[in-house]
Amino acid sequence: MHWSDLFSVSDDFRYPLNLRPGDASAFFSATSDGDAILAERRHWIASAPSQHLGFLPEAEDALAEAVTFAGLTRTDGTGGLGLVADLGRTLEPDFLLLIGPMLHVVAGCVCFPSMWAPEEKFGLPLASVHAPVPGLNEQLGKHLERFFAQLKPGASWARTNWGLSRSAELNQHPGRNLPRLTAEVSPQDVWLRVEHQSLFRLPGTGAVLFGIRIENVSLAHVRAHPQAGPGLAHQLATMPAATVAYKGLASAKERILELLA
């Protein structure tokens, strides 16, 4: 999904399901930006492994299948966490593995989180992972349950999330205490942060391989787009206060609306 299709002027804000058929092999394939992305992934994996990597013993089979899916043959790591790190240094997207009917997060490497802490999510079922997002489980919980119950082995879907952030930094782990958006922010400091996601039911183990790629788009670029500029303004204007706060926009919302006008 192109970022300019994310925002509607006719519908008020609600959490988007945004699900469409995907291609996990294409999603996880190398891109022309790969060298820079992998260099940065290697940096975070080496310097802050406990913030970005996780592995629980029950992930072993799913991880082995993900390693085969990724075509990883030579591994430098030892044990489950070492294998996760190898995969994290090889694949451009961030990834998490989820297993069982409640979709427990059992392993993964997330170098570029969007203001959430990956290390807090290992061991949790998906509904608990989503618990900090106000109203999400109430609005989408049943849809998510149905979607995953019907997700066939080998099937692949894609979806897109968005947020606004103060920089184009890929790694926005909360532990880095990066500057947040405020009422005084300048136009060049505001970025649309798009999360392209892949959901793939591994055919052998039935685990879900969840992938995330980040795309940053400057606010000036969004503003210049005839539909996306007014669409983003409408989404912000109709967003419930709790969601505005969750997205880190409590003090910046009015300023961003001003910048989009």
Residues that bind ligand HEM (CB under 6 A): 15, 17, 19, 96, 98, 105, 116, 121, 126, 129-130, 132-133, 136, 140, 144, 147, 159, 161, 163, 210, 247
Choice between 249 and 260, CB closer to ligand HEM: 249
CB of 65 to ligand HEM, least distance (A): 17
CB of 98 to ligand HEM, least distance (A): 6
State how far Cα 61 lies from the chain centre. 24
Would you state the structure tokens that stand for residue 249, as one six-digit string?
A: 């926009």
Choice between 96 and 170, CB closer to ligand HEM: 96
Choice between 45 and 208, CB closer to ligand HEM: 208
Other CB atoms closer than 10 Å to residue 205's CB: what's the count?
19
Choice between 49 and 147, CB closer to ligand HEM: 147
Other CB atoms closer than 10 Å to residue 134's CB: what's the count?
17
Report the alpha-carbon distance of residue 2 to residue 231 in Å, rounded. 14
Closest CA to 172 of 89, 95, 116: 116
Token pair 């970005």: residue: 52
CB of 127 to ligand HEM, least distance (A): 10
Token pair 């043959």: residue: 73
Report the alpha-carbon distance of residue 61 to residue 54 in Å, rounded. 15
CB of 210 to ligand HEM, least distance (A): 4
Choice between 67 and 140, CB closer to ligand HEM: 140
Report the alpha-carbon distance of residue 161 to residue 170 in Å, rounded. 15
Choice between 38 and 140, CB closer to ligand HEM: 140
Query: Please, which residues bridge with residue 158 across strands?
Result: 20, 198
Alpha helices in the chain (DSSP H): 24-28, 34-47, 49-52, 60-69, 79-90, 126-129, 136-150, 219-224, 228-237, 241-246, 253-260
CB of 241 to ligand HEM, least distance (A): 14
CB of 73 to ligand HEM, least distance (A): 27
Report the alpha-carbon distance of residue 191 to residue 249 in Å, rounded. 12
